[in-house]
Structure formats: C-alpha cells, structure tokens
Chain A
C-alpha cells in the first residue's frame, strides 16, 4: 500500500515495454487485450489512491528513499489522485475506440499510448519541479509520435508546428527552472513554497521572472491565448482516439499552473503572492472570447471541438486565476466534465465523419448517415453538456464558477464573458447538428459498418455528464475538500517536508 503513488507511473511504463516484446509485439489482438486490462487496473489503482488520499490525507513517496528536499518525491493529494483517475477513465474510452480499428493504421499504437498515460500520470503525481519537466517530456515525446500515427500530409504539417513549439517551450521551462533554482536553491515544490517567503528584496525580481516564465510555459501547454495557435490544427488532424486522449493534455498545463502558482506563489508568498493573477485573468478571458469566435467560424465538427477545448481552457483558467478555494473547486468539477465530454465529442466527430463519405465531418450537405438515431442522441447529449445548458454537467460547472466570483467588479467582467461564450457554443453546436443530421441528399448511406465498440466508448464517456449531475453533491464536496487542501499550502508544505517517513 505504501507504494501506491508510484504504481500509476510504473505500471504503464512496464506495460509499454512489455507490449514491444515477442509474445505481444507482432500481435495486435494480444496488445489490445493487455492494454485494456492494464487500463482497467489503472482505473482501480487510481480509485484506491483517491479513496486513500481522501480518507488519510496526502501521501508522499520518496523515490529511492532519499529524504524529501534532496531526493525526488512523489506527492498524491486529492487533486492529483482525482486527475489520475480522470486520465485513466479517458484513456479507457480512447483505447476502446482505438481497438475498433484505429490502432491498425500505424505501428506501436498501444506502447505509445501506455507511455503517454505514464507521462500524464507522472506529471500529476510529482512533487518536484524538475521531475515535472521530465514527465512533461515523456508525455510530449509520446504525443509527438501519437500525433503523426498513421501519417499523412496534414498530420506531418501539424506535428512540425506542435513539436517545434513544444521544444521551444521546454527550453523556456529549463530557463525558468534554472532561475528558480539559482534563487531558491531547491526544486521540491513544497520546499520552494517555504523558501519563497524568505527571499530578500533583491532576489524577488528574479524569482518573479522565473515564476512568470513558468506561467508562459504552462500557458503554452494549456493553450492560453497568445500560445494557442498550435492547438486547433494539431487536434483536428490527429486520429480520433489520440485527439480524445489529448483532451487531458491541455489540462496538464492548467494543473501545473494551479499547482505552481497556488503552492509556491500563492496567497502566503508575501511579496511574490499571486504574481500570475494580473496576467492570467485577462488572458484566460481573452482565450474564452477568441475560442468562442473561432467555434462560430469552424468549418467542421473536429475543428469545432478543438475550438471548444479552447473555450473550456478559458473557463478553467479563469477559475484558477481567482486563486480562491471555491473557484478552484469549480475548476476541478469543470475539469472532470470537460475532459470526458470533449474526448467523447472528438470520438463522435470521427464516427460521424466516417459515415458521410467524402464530406467527412464538414458542415456541408452530404449523403445520409447509416445510424442517425444513435449518433444523434450522442451528439445532443454532448452538445448540451459542452454548451453548458441546464440539465447536464457543463451547467453545474459554470454555475459553480459564477458563484465563486466575489463582488460586483469580478462578476461584471466574468459573468458576461462566460454566459455569452455559452450562447456562442449553443449557436455553433446547433448549426453543426442541423447541417450534419438534417441537410442530406437522397444518396444511399455509406456501407461502412460502425463497430459496436466505438458506440460503447462514446456512450461510456458521455455517461459521465449525467452521472456528474446525479452525484453532484458528493463530487462537489470532494472538489471543495481537494481545493481546501491545495490552498492550505502551509499544511501541505509540512507534509511534504516529512518525505517518505
């Protein structure tokens, strides 16, 4: 049980290597079975981790039993356990969808998928900022390979931009790390939080520069406004399961902003307190606006979904920028909702595209679909949830955010933007739905059958939305507790200092 926090990292790593070896290396069916089984095991482990961290408080794991400020330490608190569980749930959906045929288009889909899961889980669980960099690189190199999986001109072009931008981002990350290490003398996040309060006035500008550079790097990963240009093309050209898995990738950036800029540069950091807020808040709202406009202008369902990802990042970072526990709780709830639903929408866009022949998922008249009812029901659930219309989870997430605003000033710039972006999403999605499902010629449907596995994957992810509403009480309570734990960074710092004891 004490090794629980490292299992979500080690198991996908070992599985990824195992899948390259002889009994599995050349047999796709065996790879599929192992990958799905391991993913189910990951869900179970993450659930146990979540339960343990919820009941017993944060768990730390000192790798190699080196004492905490000196060695690398993994920290599983409520937020990281929750996001690990979310990763494996989304991973299961994407994996089931890929098993219906998408993993045949290139080599090594399943090993790469496992390494991607390992990188994402590692980034969520690490308590050490250099280790965060390493796990970023692990998840990025897996994502580079997954992005061009299957090949094609579109994918290569999107991948060139994506890879170059992320490599520049990694360089900036290291510059920021070097600056912070030079000033603070430590890389352990909790230790940095303690040291940041003790800085002299001549060292504060350097620490501030490092912190803001980190904000830029994480903003790039999270697709914040000036750095988002890679996202629509990359996400809309990736194959469907990969795009669905990528729905968690922007959240890794958002999580890092939350972790670094709440724990190290949080409200208790003295002169360095909340250095991110003056940048983050306007940029997040601008991302929201630009994402909404881009959603209205999208020519195809995949591009629309990619732009809706931007909108969700805007909402998420707006909540994070408020730097209060109730806003963070809203951000957590919204993360669960948006990750699963965006993933489902990417998969759904691919299924719709396959049934419409040459028109694919573009909003033009085309031949009718083979299974309009099943797809239509899925689309309407996803659309209502994404747009934030009443019965489903997007509505609850937005309400939580709107309730977290304090005072008329905050409300006056957050409420209109969030509400109008919801309206824009409804317009864009109703245009998408009506042209995809109603405007069709009398040609016979394409004869390509739709594997049941794909339907199951999409409906499994979509089921999250009503479940998030039905179990809204316990989930928001948990999110509140998790946010309190994060914002009570002094207590967390004390916990991390103890290390593996």
Chain B
C-alpha cells in the first residue's frame, strides 16, 4: 500500500509541476489543483498509514492519528478558496489582455493568425 500511495503522490506532484510550468493560465490552474491534491494526500500520510484505524479514542484498539485529518481538511478548504480566486483572476486576465498567457502576451513565434491580424492592424 505504501508503495502505491507514494507513487500516486509522486505522480500527482510531477504532473502538477509540469502543468505549472506551462505558459497558459488554464494549465497553471490545473497544475496547481493537482499539486494541492498531492499535498493533501501527502499530509494525510504524514500521520502514518493505518487501515481500519479509528481517529477517536476509546472506539477501537487500532488508532490512527487524527491531527493530519484536521490538517487536510483545513488545507482542502484553503485550496478550494485559492483555486476559485485564481480561476476568477485568470478570467480577468484573459479579458484584460485578450489572451490566456500568464505574461499577458504570447511570447513565441507569431502564429499565422497573429501575423494576419498584425498586417491588418
């Protein structure tokens, strides 16, 4: 179980970092979402992985650490709020700059469409 768990966290983190490094706000938002999932799983595992463990004293012989669950809950809530804010900000940036690049302009080779509009303007 530990191996699969660690692999999942690692894969999510890798995908998240990859997407965060892209230049478009949409992929960055997706990347941050994946990163926060990875973080939540990681935090959850920081209290050791226990199967069928109760988080409340006196209900079972097999206990799991309740604190990481509280931490994950807080982290999820904060992550939601931040992602929502980032989505709104990305839409605002799209409206202000006319494109969805994080720098507000497309830095690469001008595409066919841009060259055409450039000639017209």
Contact = CB atoms under 8 A, between A and B. Distances in A.
Pairing of A with B? yes
Interface of A: 130, 134, 137, 141, 144-145, 148, 152-153, 156-157, 159-161, 163-164, 167-168, 170-171, 174-175, 177-179, 181-182, 187
Interface string B36-80: 101100110111100000000000000000011001001100100
A163 B85 contact: yes
B102 A177 contact: no
Contacts of B48: 182
Contacts of A178: 39, 42-43, 45-46, 68, 71
A134 B78 contact: yes
B32 A167 contact: yes
A33 to B, nearest CB: 30
Contact of A156 (B43, B46, B71, B104): B104
B96 A171 contact: no
12 contacts: A137-B82, A141-B85, A152-B96, A156-B96, A156-B97, A157-B96, A160-B93, A161-B102, A163-B82, A174-B39, A179-B46, A181-B71
Nearest to A152: B96
Sort A-B residue pairs by CB-CB distance and give the 3 closest, nearest first.
A178-B46, A182-B46, A157-B104
Contacts of B36: 171
A163 B71 contact: no
Contacts of A177: 43, 46, 71
Contact of B68 (A156, A159, A181): A181
Q: Most chain-B CB neighbours within 10 Å: which of A159, A174, A177?
A: A174
Nearest to A161: B102
A171 B104 contact: no
Contact of B39 (A141, A153, A157, A175): A175
Given A178-B46, A178-B68, 6 more contacts: A156-B93, A156-B96, A156-B97, A160-B89, A182-B45, A182-B48
**Prevailing SS type, chain B contact patch:** helix
Interface in B65-121: 67-68, 71, 74-75, 78, 81-82, 85-86, 89-90, 92-93, 96-97, 102-104
A232 B28 CA distance: 22
A153 B35 contact: no
Contact of B47 (A153, A170, A182): A182
Nearest to B35: A171
A148 B32 CA distance: 21
A152 B103 CA distance: 14
Contacts, number: 89
Contact of A157 (B16, B35, B75, B93): B93
Given A130-B71, A134-B74, A175-B39, A157 B103 contact: yes
B64 to A, nearest CB: 14
A471 to B, nearest CB: 41
A157 B89 CA distance: 10
A237 B67 CA distance: 41
Nearest to A159: B89
A170 B39 CA distance: 10
Q: Most chain-B CB neighbours within 10 Å: which of A141, A145, A159, A175?
A: A175
B82 A167 contact: yes
B74 A130 contact: yes
Contacts of B104: 153, 156-157, 160
Nearest to A164: B28
A144 B89 CA distance: 10
Given A157-B103, A171-B32, A141 B82 contact: yes
A174 B82 CA distance: 14
Contacts of A161: 102
B97 A164 contact: no
Contacts of A144: 85, 89
A170 B93 contact: no
A37 B110 CA distance: 55
Contacts of A153: 96-97, 104
A154 to B, nearest CB: 9
A112 to B, nearest CB: 13
Given A157-B104, A174-B43, A178-B42, A164 B67 contact: no
Contacts of A152: 96
A163 B90 CA distance: 10
Contacts of A179: 46
Interface string B9-23: 000000010001000
